[in-house]
Amino acid sequence: MRQVIIIGSGPAGYTAAIYAARANLEPLVVASSVEAGGELMNTTEVENFPGFPEGIQGPELMDKMREQAEKFGAEVLYDDVVELDLDGAVKKVTLGSGAVHEASAVIFATGSAYRKLGLEGEERLSGRGVSWCATCDGFFFRERTIAVVGGGDSAMEEATFLTRFASKVYIIHRKDTLRASKIMQERAFADPKIEFIWNAEIADILGEDAVSGVVLRSTEDGTTRELPLDGLFVAIGNDPRTHLVHGKLELAPEGTIKVDGRSSRTTVPGVFAAGDVIDPTYRQAVTAAGSGTVAALDAEHFLAALAQAEQKADAAVA
């Protein structure tokens, strides 16, 4: 039986693995069969991860994190967790291959997924003008014309933030009213760089190596027109990857896994959660990495207390 199994191989999972491995816990990381490395595998330049003043490509950063975890003894398995039994002292983790691994502690770091428009150009031009994160990528669009898709608070927030860089920001929304709170709407309406395009959806994203525009389709009469753009920010929501723990761990109202205060402790003893799967607000690589650290340290304390309790029980029997 393992001491700790880490589910997920994004910044949270790999950082938890680095700390757990350096604490001699010999963690097993279940990295996923096709999405190992997490969200940063989908991007190009990362300029805000500390320690890389020239920036670093997302996949290279994740390779370095994996290498660092393996160097200290973490074992990485490229498989998916398909079932979890978290009751009792022995946690059971079932993989797609059918193998069942057991551990005293589990760190759940499965991240979250930005909702996609579902268009071909979206994946192809991800990191080349298509983005889901203004904080991450706004800086690349100085004096450019960009658009934000969405009608909620996050779309308004992203658009308002992006006006710091862009010369023009369109907000494209399917309806003629917004879901966003009144204060966020007012802020966007008052911004001279923001222009709303109502009753329109994106039918296509244009560009070979970088975004050059979009095809807009009217939701009223179906007519289409092209809008030249340098960038497109998709802000139509984000879903924490929690389906494996539904009914097993308590969730927060935002849909993230509920943890105890600033810790990573979930509602089940021995189960810890870290990264974007517990974070409805910040969702950055460095915050996920910090959260992975917290989870590894919490798991370490939990396992130490468990070992101490077992020693006491053994001594009492002897």
Binding site for ligand FAD (CB under 6 A): 7-13, 30-32, 35-40, 42-43, 46, 48, 80-81, 109-111, 114, 126-127, 132-133, 136, 241, 244, 275-276, 283-286, 288
Q: Kindly tell me which of 130 and 178 has the beta carbon lying closer to ligand FAD.
A: 130
Q: Which of 210, 67, 28, 64 is nearest to 128 (CA)?
A: 210
**Catalytic residue check, 133:** yes
**Catalytic residue check, 136:** yes
Strand ranges inside 165-273, DSSP E? 168-172, 194-197, 200-206, 213-218, 224-228, 231-234, 238-240, 271-273
**Catalytic residue check, 63:** no
Q: From CA 121, how far away is CA 133, in angstroms rounded?
A: 17
Q: From CA 164, how far away is CA 166, in angstroms rounded?
A: 6
3-state DSSP call for residue 312? helix
Q: Kindly tell me which of 7 and 180 has the beta carbon lying closer to ligand FAD.
A: 7
- Please state the closest distance from residue 109 (CB atom) to ligand FAD, in A: 5
Q: From CA 257, how far away is CA 201, in angstroms rounded?
A: 32
- Please state the closest distance from residue 219 (CB atom) to ligand FAD, in A: 26
- Please state the closest distance from residue 111 (CB atom) to ligand FAD, in A: 2
Q: From CA 30, how far away is CA 13, in angstroms rounded?
A: 9
Q: How far is CA 192 from CA 159, 195, 256, in A?
A: 12, 8, 35
Q: Kindly tell me which of 19 and 178 has the beta carbon lying closer to ligand FAD.
A: 19
Structure tokens given for 20: 């757990």
Residue among 137, 230, 276, 279 flagged as catalytic: 137
Q: Kindly tell me which of 75 and 80 has the beta carbon lying closer to ligand FAD.
A: 80
Q: How far is CA 141 from CA 168, 233, 274, in A?
A: 10, 11, 31
- Please state the closest distance from residue 199 (CB atom) to ligand FAD, in A: 28
Residue among 63, 79, 80, 133 flagged as catalytic: 133
**DSSP 8-state assignment for residue 61:** H
Structure tokens given for 163: 């006006």
- Please state the closest distance from residue 279 (CB atom) to ligand FAD, in A: 7
Q: Kindly tell me which of 50 and 222 has the beta carbon lying closer to ligand FAD.
A: 50
Residue among 136, 230, 276, 279 flagged as catalytic: 136
- Please state the closest distance from residue 23 (CB atom) to ligand FAD, in A: 19
Q: Which of 115, 114, 112 is nearest to 241 (CA)?
A: 112
Q: Kindly tell me which of 66 and 217 has the beta carbon lying closer to ligand FAD.
A: 66
3-state DSSP call for residue 310? helix
Residues belonging to the active site: 133, 136-137
